[in-house]
Amino acid sequence: MENGAAKPVIVAIDGPSGTGKSSTSKAVAAQLGLSYLDTGAQYRAITWWMVTNGIDIEDPSAIAAVAGKPEIVSGTDPSGPTITVDGVDVAAPIRTQEVTSQVSAVSAVPEVRARITELQRSIATSAERGVVVEGRDIGTTVLPDADLKIFLTASPEARAARRSGELKGADVHSTREALLKRDAADSSRKTSPLAKADDAVEVDTTELTLQQVIECVVTLVEEKRAAQ
**pLDDT tens, the chain, 228 aa long:** 344 566 799 999 999 888 889 999 999 999 999 999 999 999 999 999 999 999 999 999 999 999 999 999 999 999 999 999 999 999 999 999 999 999 999 999 999 999 999 999 999 999 999 999 999 999 999 999 999 999 999 988 888 888 777 766 667 788 888 888 878 777 777 877 778 899 999 999 999 999 999 999 999 999 998 887
Report the C-alpha gap between 88 and 106 in whole angstroms. 20
Spell 159-177 as b/e; 16+ CB within 10 A means b.
bbbbbbeebeeeeeeebbe
DSSP state, residue 219? H
Report the C-alpha gap between 53 and 20 in whole angstroms. 32
What is the pLDDT, as a whole number, of residue 16? 86
What is the pLDDT, as a whole number, of residue 167? 67
What is the pLDDT, as a whole number, of residue 17? 81
Report the C-alpha gap between 178 and 77 in whole angstroms. 30
CB atoms within 10 A of CB 77: 12
Q: Let me know: does 141 contact 124? Beta carbons within 8 Å.
A: no
Q: Let me know: does 35 contact 131? Beta carbons within 8 Å.
A: yes
Provide the β-strand partners of residue 85.
Answer: 72, 88
DSSP SS3 for 99: helix
What is the pLDDT, as a whole number, of residue 157? 86
What is the pLDDT, as a whole number, of residue 3? 44
What is the pLDDT, as a whole number, of residue 110? 95
**Concatenated DSSP letters of 120-188:** HHHHHHH-SSEEEEEESSIIIII-TT-SEEEEEE--HHHHHHHHHHHTTS--HHHHHHHHHHHHHHHHH
